[in-house]
Amino acid sequence: MISVENLTRKFGELTAVEGLTFQVEEGEVFGFLGPNGAGKTTTVRMLCCLISKTSGDARINDYHIGKEADSLQIRKMIGLVPDNVGLYDDLSAFENLDFYGKLYECTEGRRKENIERFLKMLELWDRKDARAGSFSKGMKQKLALARALVHEPKILFMDEPTANLDPESAKTVRDFIMEIKKQGRTIFLNTHNLDEAQRICDRIGIIKTKLLSIGTPEQLRKSLAGPKTVIRLAQASEAMANSLRKLIPNKFEVSDNKLLIDVTDPDKENPSIIAAITSIGGQVREVTQLVPTLEEVYLQIVKETK
């Protein structure tokens, strides 16, 4: 659905985005994580045909960005929620959506149906005739989401959709994203929010001018360091640890009656580790799995580029 190959964008001497290569499949929620100035917005703007690329290529459903004739086709099939909501404050919620519906060539019937459906889903239907300027930040963000969906795009680009929202509004927006994910739309989500990325995204790309890492949240967490199995024992001694080292190949540390054991495949390795411990007289009290958080992975990857 989205295919990016070696995409680069320079602003004079400054390279905003360099050599991006990735693909986003149909129906996938793809998260783009990165610090401020990492090139997330520039990437979205290039993919939405708002700014040109310096080199490389990107295709959206086989339409190439940068080709004038293809740009209009791409714009028809995408929806954009920019980092600034950019609503017309003097128009009502309904008028804002109706204007965009017309621009996207929706028929009157479809327009009205979609406006009603999305405003109801976002709990804004009762305020449809109120000026957008009178809305709270959260309501404006929800209205911007409805605007991006009014023509039912196949792909939705969202640039920090929950930034600066209160927790309740952020949750409504996140729930709504999950709802549209169920409808099978492809979502490209720029975010700072690691928890949000972990909860919503099928795959995540970590960017800082270049794409530093890409994978499912699970793969990313495992990529930093393998998972660890934590085994709490009734009593752990150095002598026992030495005996255990002869029985299992895994590296481990002993601390406070706990063994922190490096594993590559916990499901396969844990039973034999536990068997080894019990064979040397260890009494297992608790077994837990320790996996690095996405935040730890993100901070580590970004730190390594400094």
Partner 1 sequence: MRISKAWIVAAKDIRVFLRKRYTIYSLVVFPIIIGIGLPFVLNVVISKQGALLSTQHLTDLMSAFAFFFAIGASVIPTLLASYSLVGEKVEKSLEPLLAAPITDSELLLGKGIGAFFPSIGSLYIGSIVFMVLSDLFTHSTLGYYYFPNWTIGILLLILMPLLSVLSVEWSVIVSARATDPRAAQLQGVLIAIPLFFIYVATEVGAIKLNTTTIWIISGAAFIADIILFFLSTKTFQREEILTKWN
SS3 letters across 229-262? EEEEECCCCHHHHHHHHHHCCCCEEEECCEEEEE
Shortest distance, position 35 Cβ to partner 1, whole Å = 21
Alpha helices in 2-54 (DSSP H): 40-47
Please say which residue, 45 or 221, places its beta carbon nearer to partner 1. Answer: 45
Shortest distance, position 59 Cβ to partner 1, whole Å = 18
Choice from 93, 144, 173, 197 touching partner 1 (CB under 8 A)? 144
Note whether 78 binds partner 1 by CB under 8 A.
Answer: yes
Q: Which of 46, 42, 49, 128 is nearest to 93 (CA)?
A: 128
Please say which residue, 45 or 203, places its beta carbon nearer to partner 1. Answer: 45
Residue 82 DSSP one-character state: -
Note whether 137 binds partner 1 by CB under 8 A.
Answer: no
| Helix (H) or strand (E) segment spanning residue 114 | helix 108-121
Q: Which range, of 22-30, 142-150, 207-215, 273-281, touches partner 1 by CB under 8 A?
A: 142-150
Please say which residue, 105 or 123, places its beta carbon nearer to partner 1. Answer: 105
Shortest distance, position 164 Cβ to partner 1, whole Å = 14
Q: Which residues pair with 24 in a beta bridge?
A: 2
Q: Are 94 and 58 in contact (CB under 8 A)?
A: no
Q: Are 263 and 289 in contact (CB under 8 A)?
A: no
Q: Which range, of 26-34, 71-79, 177-185, 274-282, touches partner 1 by CB under 8 A?
A: 71-79
Note whether 164 binds partner 1 by CB under 8 A.
Answer: no
Q: Are 76 and 83 in contact (CB under 8 A)?
A: no
Give the span between the Cα atoms of 46 and 50, in whole angstroms: 6
Shortest distance, position 158 Cβ to partner 1, whole Å = 12
The contact mask relative to partner 1 for 42-61 (x = CB under 8 A, - = no) is ---x--xxxxx---------
Note whether 72 binds partner 1 by CB under 8 A.
Answer: yes
Note whether 204 binds partner 1 by CB under 8 A.
Answer: no
Q: Which of 305, 304, 292 is nearest to 220 (CA)?
A: 292
Q: Are 17 and 209 in contact (CB under 8 A)?
A: yes
Q: Which range, of 25-33, 94-102, 192-200, 253-261, touches partner 1 by CB under 8 A?
A: 94-102
Q: Where does this chain bind partner 1 (CB under 8 A)?
A: 11, 45, 48-52, 72, 75-76, 78, 80, 82, 84-91, 95, 99-100, 102-105, 144, 147-148
